[in-house]
């Protein structure tokens, strides 16, 4: 059965919004930072703190969308996210000291949560029951595409408009237009009657928190985010340290971003056939292979293997964790459960800090990369043991006889 036209329209609307949001936060703030450093005379520590606050704000506010959806709905959550992102861009455009810069970066993180996967997947999941994994994969692919193209857009915008402040004002206008279009196209599906989908009574958050499956999935996304933050921070430094040309390093990152965009769509098409457990194990395993390639060699084939493994694995894990939480715990309380699980991602802020400290002590990054491999393999072993959780008899949802 084909995907409905209603779902496709909403997928395009929220997907483009997600593309812009992903591109203008984690994927391109590092491109703008050198311009901000030069203009405001920031130290590297001051500039890095802003990025850390972005990550912390995104992780610690991950429960906020669930609260908004529970009290209002997914459209209101998207509206608040759009407004927060506009405020963040405007704050960065006018910042004249480190404190205002930090406030802008923090607002980016909060907007990232409000406008991100939780409200979009909540809305689209209500409309699309049979092709849900493909729809989710396509949505996440928009985010990967944003990571691929946005750094170039940043440089083009700064070069064309004349300054990094003008770039942020451009983002204010772009988010206002894209957000308005998305909000006009998105609408919530009315609640289903109990006899239409009785299995969707699902689990409550407190019930999910008492299952090992919740923590295994959380460890998978935590390991993936930690690897991604460490790789983004120090791969270029590592590659140049071992004699790889900067141009080759840039090509490697482009391939990695392309795989991040392509793999959610590819895996979304086969998820229903192979199951979420297989996706979790595969995503973690190929990340471990990619990190091994980065650690052991500097030849172009090894760099390609690294880019495919880490980029493709990141995209696969984001899809797999999204689908597994819904499959294991149901859709009704999915925003709360997904948001709580995303709290695991806050561990990623320690990756670059520890890797930098180890490099200062030893002059090497491969030790930290090796630790990432161990974490990924441990998470993959845990994922391989996953079975769907079973409720105790007293907690079984009511069904219609």
Q: Give the whole-angstrom CA distance, residue 175 versus residue 169.
A: 10
Please answer whether residues 47 and 33 qualify as being in contact, where contact means their C-beta atoms are separated by less than 8 angstroms: yes
Q: Give the whole-angstrom CA distance, residue 59 versus residue 72.
A: 22
Q: Give the whole-angstrom CA distance, residue 118 versus residue 182.
A: 15
Give the pLDDT score at 401.
27
Q: Give the whole-angstrom CA distance, residue 15 versus residue 1.
A: 22
- The length of the chain in residues reads 401
> Closest Cα partner for 333 from 179, 212, 214, 196?
214
What's the CATH architecture for 202-388?
Up-down Bundle (1.20)
Provide the residue-wise pLDDT of the chain in tens; the chain has 401 residues: 567 778 888 899 999 999 999 989 887 787 888 889 889 998 877 887 887 888 889 989 999 999 999 899 999 999 999 999 999 999 999 999 999 999 999 999 999 999 988 898 888 877 766 677 888 899 999 988 988 898 889 989 999 999 999 999 999 999 999 999 999 999 887 654 444 444 455 799 999 999 999 999 999 999 998 998 888 778 877 888 888 887 888 788 788 889 988 999 999 989 888 999 999 999 999 999 999 999 988 888 999 999 999 999 999 999 999 999 988 998 888 899 999 999 998 888 888 888 888 888 888 889 999 999 999 999 999 999 999 898 765 444 433 32
Q: Give the whole-angstrom CA distance, residue 119 versus residue 129.
A: 16
Q: Which residues of 297-327 are buried (b: 16+ CB within 10 A; e: fewer)?
A: ebeeebbbbbbbbbbbbbbbbbbbbbbbbbb
205 to 77, 230, 243, 336: CA distances (angstroms) = 19, 31, 49, 6
Give the pLDDT score at 128.
62
Give the pLDDT score at 195.
43
**Longest distance between any two alpha carbons in the chain, whole Å:** 69
Q: How far is CA 122 from the centre of its chain?
A: 16
**287, exposed or middle or buried, with CB in 10 Å at 0-12, 13-18, 19+?**
buried
103 SS3 class: helix
Residues whose CB is less than 8 angstroms from the CB of residue 13 and which lie 6 or more positions away in sequence, other chains included? 181, 182, 185, 186
Please answer whether residues 373 and 243 qualify as being in contact, where contact means their C-beta atoms are separated by less than 8 angstroms: no
- Residue 103, number of CB atoms within 10 A of its CB: 17
Domain regions of the chain by residue span: 1-188, 202-388
Please answer whether residues 368 and 230 qualify as being in contact, where contact means their C-beta atoms are separated by less than 8 angstroms: yes
Q: Give the whole-angstrom CA distance, residue 261 versus residue 98.
A: 33
**129, exposed or middle or buried, with CB in 10 Å at 0-12, 13-18, 19+?**
middle
311 SS3 class: helix
The predicted-structure confidence for 248-259, as pLDDT tens digits, reads as follows 887 887 888 899
**135, exposed or middle or buried, with CB in 10 Å at 0-12, 13-18, 19+?**
buried
8 to 144, 187, 221, 263, 395: CA distances (angstroms) = 18, 12, 27, 19, 36
Please answer whether residues 352 and 229 qualify as being in contact, where contact means their C-beta atoms are separated by less than 8 angstroms: yes
Name the pTM for this structure.
0.84
Tell me whether the CATH fold assigned to 1-188 matches the one assigned to 202-388.
yes
**What are the φ and ψ backbone dihedral angles of 392, each rounded to 5 degrees?**
-65, 155
Give the pLDDT score at 96.
93
Run of H or E including 157: helix 132-161
**Which fold would CATH assign to domain 1-188?**
Growth Hormone; Chain: A; (1.20.1250)
Q: How far is CA 316 from the centre of its chain?
A: 11
Residues whose CB is less than 8 angstroms from the CB of residue 241 and which lie 6 or more positions away in sequence, other chains included? 365
* DSSP code, position 190: P
């Amino acid at each position: 059965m084909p995907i409905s036209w209603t779902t496709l329209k909403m997928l395009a609307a929220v997907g483009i919004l997600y593309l812009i949001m992903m591109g203008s936060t984690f994927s391109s703030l590092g491109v703008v930072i050198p311009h901000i450093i030069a203009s405001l005379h920031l130290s590297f520590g001051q500039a890095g703190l802003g990025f850390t606050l972005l990550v912390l704000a995104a992780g610690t506010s991950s429960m906020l969308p669930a609260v908004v959806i529970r009290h209002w709905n997914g459209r209101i959550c998207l509206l608040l996210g759009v407004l927060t992102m506009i405020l963040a861009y405007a704050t960065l455009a006018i910042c004249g000291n480190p404190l205002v810069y930090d406030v802008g970066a923090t607002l980016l993180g909060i907007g990232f949560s409000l406008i991100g996967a939780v409200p979009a997947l909540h809305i689209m999941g209500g409309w699309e029951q049979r092709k849900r994994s493909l729809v989710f994969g396509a949505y996440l692919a928009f985010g990967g595409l944003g990571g691929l193209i946005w750094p170039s857009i940043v440089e083009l915008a700064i070069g064309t408009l004349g300054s990094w402040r003008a770039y942020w004002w451009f983002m204010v206008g772009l988010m206002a237009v894209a957000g308005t279009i998305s909000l006009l196209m998105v609408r919530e599906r009315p609640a289903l009657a109990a006899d239409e989908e009785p299995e969707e009574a699902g689990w409550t958050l407190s019930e999910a928190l008492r299952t090992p499956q919740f923590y295994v999935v959380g460890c998978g996304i935590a390991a993936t985010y930690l690897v991604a933050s460490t790789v983004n921070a120090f791969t270029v430094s590592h590659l140049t340290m071992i004699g790889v040309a900067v141009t080759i390093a840039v090509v490697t990152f482009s391939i990695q971003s392309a795989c991040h965009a392509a793999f959610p769509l590819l895996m979304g098409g086969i998820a229903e056939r192979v199951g979420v457990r297989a996706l979790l194990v595969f995503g973690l395993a190929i990340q471990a292979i990619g990190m091994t390639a980065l650690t052991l060699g500097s030849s172009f084939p090894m760099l390609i293997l690294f880019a495919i493994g880490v980029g493709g694995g990141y995209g696969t894990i984001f899809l797999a964790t999204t689908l597994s939480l819904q499959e294991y715990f149901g859709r009704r309380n999915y925003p709360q459960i997904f948001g709580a699980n995303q709290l695991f991602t806050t561990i990623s802020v320690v990756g670059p800090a520890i890797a930098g400290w180890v490099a200062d002590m030893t002059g090497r990054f491969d030790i930290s990369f090796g630790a990432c491999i161990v974490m990924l393999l441990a998470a993959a072993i845990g994922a391989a043991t996953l079975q769907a959780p079973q409720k105790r008899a007293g907690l079984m949802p009511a069904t219609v006889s």
